[in-house]
DNA sequence: CTTGGATAGTTATGTAGCATAACTAAAGGG
DNA sequence: CCCTTTAGTTATGCTACATAACTATCCAAG
């Protein structure tokens, strides 16, 4: 009977997993997500409410189903995001003039203001995350991420 | 009273969000994660049980707390992953010889075998995700991901 | 015009990933 | 020997996200 060897201390290496992009991406995304959540928290926004607000500011009159499609989330969840943005007074559900089932999402003045401030904070967060990388590398990363996304 | 304009169709653009690495990363990660889950499912593995199995194969005698530390997950959740690996007969909890509170995690022959097969599948998945990217771009991505992870 | 199937938004509900708190047993230092 | 810390576990809660079912409305074929 052979003694089961024990890993003494400190030596636990994830080198084998580091070979995989997915592993590195999950770890990096966890860090990024946590930092972004902290960045948005003072504004009363979360990742997805910020994304939704951005879409509504940049695409006035957007309908919830278009928002769901654009963000690749379910319509059922969009309801929750818009509820929150509406309760905060940043977004209104205006009745659509062409389809009585639908709403035209509009942002309010307050909504545009909080968006601009949050956007600046998110931009700073982005720079923080990528600090030390050259422009050409950042471009490569974005290209690669969009390539990966296209594999879905 | 001004008519609220409506976004007619198709025009919903997330261009503003595309400026942010976090947004691109979330989308890419969602796609990657889904593909990886499909890749691992035939082996009865999930992302984290695969990671745990890899760590145990590559670091025989690893203790659960070391595993938690290495994967940046809570000890409480490691219990669940090891439970699953143990139920499948791929990992054993051998009593530690130096600390009666602890276990030395060992993988079985079956564990090593399923790991090798799953690892090959994950490698193929990785290549699939990065197909079409040049080496220099892949290197940029890995560098950027590890840089981001280091910001946490 | 009407009628049947699709679509928009909503509601309720389930699941999975991950974190926290509290517990037991054992280690380890004064 | 205490007293504190640590290893593993258990119970529990939260958040993100998906699914199913429902109502109201649209739209196109008959």
Q: Confidence band (pLDDT; 50, 70, 90) for B124?
A: very high
Chain D, protein-covered positions (CB within 7 A): 6-11, 15-21, 24-27
| Optimal mutation site among B1, B4, B92, interface A, most CBs of chain A within 10 A | B4
Quick check: A61 and A105 in contact, CB under 8 A?
yes
What is the pLDDT averaged over residues B15-25? 95
CB-strand contact B121/D, under 7 Å: no
| Optimal mutation site among A142, A143, A146, A150, interface B, most CBs of chain B within 10 A | A142
How far in angstroms lies nucleotide C5's C1' from the CA of residue B11?
27
Residue carrying structure tokens 């938690």: B68
Q: CA B85, CA B107: separation in Å to the nearest integer?
A: 9
Residue spans of the domains in chain A: they are: 45-150
More confident residue, B136 or A128: A128
Chain C, protein-covered positions (CB within 7 A): 7-12, 17-22, 25-28
How far in angstroms lies nucleotide C29's C1' from the CA of residue B43?
47
Q: Confidence band (pLDDT; 50, 70, 90) for A29?
A: very high
Q: Do A31 and B128 touch (CB under 8 A)?
A: no
Closest nt to B77 (CA→C1')? Answer: C18
**Residue A136, pLDDT score:** 87
**Residue B2, pLDDT score:** 41
pLDDT digits (tens, 9 = 90+) for A108-117: 999 999 999 9
> Quick one: DSSP state of residue B117?
H
**On the CB side of A49, how many CA atoms lie within 13 Å of its CA?**
23
Sequence-distant (6+) residues with CB within 8 A of A59 are A66, A70, B7, B11, B12, B13
Q: Confidence band (pLDDT; 50, 70, 90) for B4?
A: very low
Quick check: B117 and B91 in contact, CB under 8 A?
no
CB count within 10 Å of CB B150 equals 11
Answer whether residue A1 shows pLDDT above 60.
no
- Looking at every residue in chain A, the average pLDDT score rounds to 92
The closest CB to that of A126, out of B3, B4, B21, belongs to: B21
C-alpha distance from residue B139 to each of A124, B143, B147 (Å): 25, 6, 12
Q: Where do the H-state alpha helices sit in chain B?
A: 15-18, 21-40, 47-58, 64-71, 75-87, 109-130, 135-150
Sequence-distant (6+) residues with CB within 8 A of A49 are A81, A84, A85
pLDDT digits (tens, 9 = 90+) for B53-68: 999 999 999 999 999 9
CATH of domain B45-150: 1.10.10.10
What are the two backbone dihedrals, phi and then psi, of residue B106, each rounded to the nearest 5 degrees? -125, 145
Quick check: A15 and B58 in contact, CB under 8 A?
yes
Question: What is the distance in angstroms between the Cα of B47 and the nearest Cα belonging to chain A?
Answer: 9
Comparing A1-5, A25-29, A136-140, A141-145, the range with the smallest average pLDDT is A1-5
Nearest to B46 by CA among B77, B15, B7, B9: B77
Tokens representing residue A62 in the block: 């957007």
- Looking at every residue in chain B, the average pLDDT score rounds to 92
What is the pLDDT averaged over residues A87-107? 96
Answer whether residue A4 shows pLDDT above 50.
no
Q: CA B40, CA A20: separation in Å to the nearest integer?
A: 14
The closest CB to that of A6, out of B33, B35, B61, belongs to: B61
Q: CA B75, CA B67: separation in Å to the nearest integer?
A: 8
Task: Kindly identify which residue of chain B lies nearest to residue A105, measuring between CA atoms.
Answer: B6
C-alpha distance from residue B21 to each of A15, A138, B34, B145 (Å): 26, 9, 20, 11
CB-strand contact B78/D, under 7 Å: yes
pLDDT digits (tens, 9 = 90+) for A42-74: 999 999 999 999 999 999 999 999 999 999 999
Answer whether residue B126 shows pLDDT above 80.
yes
Nearest to B31 by CA among A142, A147, A70: A147
Considering only CA atoms, name the residue closest to the C1' of nucleotide C21.
B76
């Amino acid at each position: 009977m052979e003694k089961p060897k024990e890993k003494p201390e400190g030596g636990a290496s994830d080198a084998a997993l580091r070979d995989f992009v997915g592993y590195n991406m999950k770890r990096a995304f966890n860090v990024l997500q946590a930092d972004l959540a902290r960045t948005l928290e003072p504004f009363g926004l979360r990742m997805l409410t910020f994304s939704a607000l951005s879409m509504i500011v940049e695409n006035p009159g957007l309908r919830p189903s278009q928002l769901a499609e654009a963000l690749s989330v379910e319509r059922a969840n969009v309801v929750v995001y818009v509820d929150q943005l509406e309760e905060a007074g940043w977004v209104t559900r205006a009745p659509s003039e062409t389809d009585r089932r639908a709403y035209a999402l509009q942002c309010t003045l307050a909504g545009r203001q909080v968006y601009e401030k949050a956007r600046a904070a998110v931009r700073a967060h982005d720079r923080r995350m990528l600090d030390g990388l050259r422009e050409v590398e950042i471009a490569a990363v974005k290209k690669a991420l969009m390539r990966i996304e296209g594999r879905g």
